[in-house]
Amino acid sequence: MWKSLLVGLLAHVLAEEEEGSCMLQKKQMQHKLIAKDYCEGTQKVLNFNNFSHGDEVFPDSIPGVTIEATRRATEPEPGFPKNCSGPLLILDTRDPDFRSFDKDLRNCENCTLMLWSKDGNRNKVNDCGEHPGVMISFKYEELQDLIDIELWDLEEPTFIELYGADGELLKNVSAPNGPDQDGNPAVVDLMAEGVKEMIVYMGGSGAVRKIRSCEPAPPFCPGPPGELTFNSFSHGDEILPDSIRGVTIEATRRATEPEPGFPKNCSGPLLILDTRDPDGRSFDKDLKRCENCTLMLWSKDGNRRKVNDCGEHPGVKISFKFRKLQSLVDIELWDLEEPTFIELYGADGEMLKNISAPDGPEQDGNPAIVELLTEGVTGPALH
């Protein structure tokens, strides 16, 4: 038997009129789809584009994050008499004197890279090749949802640790390394939420170009949702077009013949069935499952004591026309055994969405909360 029962419609009310290289490019393309799926909000980038060649990166150089480096090696780079002195410096491959820095990093075209300096020379910036390499820590003021990090020239094993708000290890991620990485990029997927600190352990030489993070999308309804319900009505009350302020509710019979086994056409009107009514025997057994509910339905016979819904095929069309545009969150329906759909219309009568509700035997006497998530709605029509 076809039944469509409305419990509530959630809405957020709007004002009426408101409303480098080829290899790098290839690697970035491979990550676009992953990043898009991970981040439904706005992608943010921490990079070093505002620095100049030879600039030192201090712990507080970038607002919102503390960047610090710690040397880990116990002996100098092979063939080099002194320990790498640091500090963290910027290598800008756009610098006109391109002969003044590491040849492997020239492959990163138009890049500003942060690295641990071999000797502190700010003109000929060169990265340190000690084993193991430097440890670089990024401590964020606010928790981050990290997408990926772009590293360069990782010939030795490099890994990244991600820590949460309480210092717990969230992830340990290994970066690509080996001869294939000599002078080439590695875009390392992080895909971790709630990161307070990220530590990059360089295996040897290498540089950081950028870190991408995700700023979550704002909620569809930033404030508490308003609810259109029928809780203020009593069992058997008729819902007239103007019964609820700010919206016109009307029903239209669509069937051309009576419900099977019933001699007459369903007469309507829209009535309230209150499952809190003490005489629980007086209405549809399937709807008793909705405890403490006030439901609006198209009446089979107009009986306001024994309120029962109409089982004609197709069922009734119920239209909601709002005086002001709405941002609709969802609608709760009950007992939908037959196909039911919802049309959402905009200010100029254009259809914004057509959404199908769950149906079938499993919906018999059960609820269906149908997501609408649509802005600028002047009226949904429930079929």
- Interval 158-211: pLDDT, tens: 999 999 999 999 999 999 888 888 778 999 999 999 999 999 999 998 999 999
Residue 19 has pLDDT above 50, yes or no: no
pLDDT at 277: 78
Better-scored residue on pLDDT, 18 or 25: 25
CA distance 1 to 143: 52
Residue 249 has pLDDT above 90, yes or no: yes
Are 108 and 100 a contacting pair, CB within 8 Å?
Answer: no
- Residue 59 — pLDDT band, cuts 50, 70, 90? very high
Number of domains in the chain: 2
Which of 78, 99, 100 shows the shortest CA–CA distance to 89? Answer: 100
Check whether residue 66 and residue 135 sit in a common domain.
yes
What CATH number is given to the structural domain containing 190? 2.60.120
Residue 261 has pLDDT above 90, yes or no: no
User: For 104-108, 171-175, 311-315, which range has the lowest pLDDT when averaged over its residues?
Assistant: 104-108
Q: How far does the chain reach from its first CA to its final CA, in angstroms?
A: 15
Q: What's the domain range around 56?
A: 41-215
Check whether residue 245 and residue 316 sit in a common domain.
yes
Highest mean pLDDT among 14-28, 50-64, 352-366: 50-64
Evaluate whether residue 375 is within a structural domain. Answer: yes
Share of the chain above pLDDT 70, in %: 87
Better-scored residue on pLDDT, 195 or 1: 195
Evaluate whether residue 242 is within a structural domain. Answer: yes
Check whether residue 301 and residue 359 sit in a common domain.
yes
Residue 260 has pLDDT above 60, yes or no: yes
Are 86 and 73 a contacting pair, CB within 8 Å?
Answer: no
- Residue 9 — pLDDT band, cuts 50, 70, 90? low
Check whether residue 279 and residue 319 sit in a common domain.
yes
Of 181, 215, 249, the domain-final residue? 215
Check whether residue 262 and residue 369 sit in a common domain.
yes
Evaluate whether residue 32 is within a structural domain. Answer: no
Better-scored residue on pLDDT, 256 or 137: 137
Largest Cα separation within the chain, whole Å, is 102
Residue 20 has pLDDT above 90, yes or no: no
Evaluate whether residue 33 is within a structural domain. Answer: no
Residue 157 has pLDDT above 80, yes or no: yes
pLDDT at 98: 59
Check whether residue 275 and residue 195 sit in a common domain.
no
Q: CA-based angle 111:112:113, to the nearest 5?
A: 110
Check whether residue 124 and residue 152 sit in a common domain.
yes
CA of residue 311 relative to chain centroid, distance: 39
Burial classification of residue 109, based on how many CB atoms lie within 10 Å of its CB (0-12 exposed, 13-18 middle, 19 or more buried):
exposed
292-295 CB contacts, 8 Å cutoff, 24+ apart: 293/7, 293/334, 294/7, 294/229, 294/230, 294/231, 294/233, 295/5, 295/6, 295/7, 295/230, 295/334
Better-scored residue on pLDDT, 251 or 80: 251
pLDDT at 18: 33
Of 215, 235, 255, the domain-final residue? 215
Report the pLDDT averaged over residues 149-158: 92
pLDDT at 30: 46
Residue 345 DSSP code: E
User: For 8-22, 88-102, 190-204, which range has the lowest pLDDT when averaged over its residues?
Assistant: 8-22
Evaluate whether residue 34 is within a structural domain. Answer: no
Check whether residue 10 and residue 64 sit in a common domain.
no
Q: What is the pLDDT of residues 204-246, one digit of tens each?
A: 989 999 999 998 777 777 766 788 999 999 999 999 999 999 9
User: For 88-92, 214-218, 221-225, 315-319, which range has the lowest pLDDT when averaged over its residues?
Assistant: 221-225
Evaluate whether residue 35 is within a structural domain. Answer: no
Residue 35 has pLDDT above 60, yes or no: no
Evaluate whether residue 50 is within a structural domain. Answer: yes
pLDDT at 26: 44
Check whether residue 210 and residue 307 sit in a common domain.
no
Check whether residue 202 and residue 347 sit in a common domain.
no
Share of the chain above pLDDT 90, in %: 58
CA distance 237 to 217: 42
Look over the chain and give the mean of its residue pLDDT values, rounded to a whole number. 86
Better-scored residue on pLDDT, 221 or 358: 358
Check whether residue 209 and residue 255 sit in a common domain.
no
Check whether residue 138 and residue 234 sit in a common domain.
no
Evaluate whether residue 317 is within a structural domain. Answer: yes
Of 215, 231, 247, the domain-final residue? 215
CA distance 186 to 210: 11
Torsion sign over Cα 107, 111, 113, 119: positive
